[in-house]
């Protein structure tokens, strides 16, 4: 068995690296996928198509270019990990969770105790809630055992 796992959410901490490292240690057959996680590159994804004076349209173009990758990867993943940190709105992460839920893609969430309440709908459709990246790694290890 082999898993393709889409990692969605927070891009300012190294939770992706921690999970990938944990998986490597266990020698698990996991392929990780993600949106482009470099903030500036992601915001500028549509700039080469022409300059926009209106920031709405600049964002619009970039978010759609990013969506090509995100949509393709979510549709082809086996499961997802949705990470919520303690900063920013992170509506894209919740959007990805809803997208997974509607497609029947199993996902687990990764977040601290203090945001349990606002995440209750996102957690309600999840297969598990993890507090640490080690717990996520353990879920992957068990699933592949």
Chain positions 38 to 77 lying near a copy of itself, rule: CB under 8 A, are 41, 45-46, 48-50, 53-57, 59-73
Binding piece for a copy of itself, criterion CB under 8 A, among 10-18, 20-28, 119-127 = 119-127
Q: Which residue in the set 11, 81, 110, 130 belongs to the binding site for a copy of itself (CB under 8 A)?
A: 130
Q: Which residue in the set 18, 26, 85, 128 belongs to the binding site for a copy of itself (CB under 8 A)?
A: 128
Min. distance of Cβ 50 from a copy of itself in angstroms? 8
Q: Does 28 bind a copy of itself (CB under 8 A)?
A: no
Contacts of 22 (CB under 8 A, 6+ apart): 133, 134, 136, 137, 140
Min. distance of Cβ 24 from a copy of itself in angstroms? 19
With CB under 8 A as the rule, give the number of residues binding a copy of itself: 74
Min. distance of Cβ 53 from a copy of itself in angstroms? 8
Min. distance of Cβ 16 from a copy of itself in angstroms? 15
Within positions 76 to 105, which residues make up the interface with a copy of itself, using CB under 8 A? 78-79, 84, 88-104
Q: Contact 114/87 with Cβ under 8 angstroms?
A: no
């Amino acid at each position: 068995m082999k898993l393709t796992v889409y990692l969605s959410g927070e891009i300012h901490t190294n939770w992706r690296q921690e999970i990938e490292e944990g998986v490597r240690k266990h020698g698990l057959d996991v392929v990780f996928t993600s949106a482009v996680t470099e903030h500036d590159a992601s915001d500028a994804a549509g700039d080469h198509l022409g300059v926009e004076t209106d920031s709405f349209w600049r964002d619009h173009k970039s978010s759609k270019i990013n969506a090509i990758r995100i949509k393709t990867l979510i549709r082809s993943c086996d499961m997802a990990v949705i990470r919520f940190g303690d900063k920013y709105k992170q509506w894209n992460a919740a959007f990805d969770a809803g997208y997974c839920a509607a497609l029947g893609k199993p996902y687990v969430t990764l977040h601290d105790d203090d945001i349990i309440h606002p995440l209750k709908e996102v957690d309600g459709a999840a297969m598990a809630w993890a507090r640490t990246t080690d717990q996520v790694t353990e879920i992957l290890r068990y699933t592949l055992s």
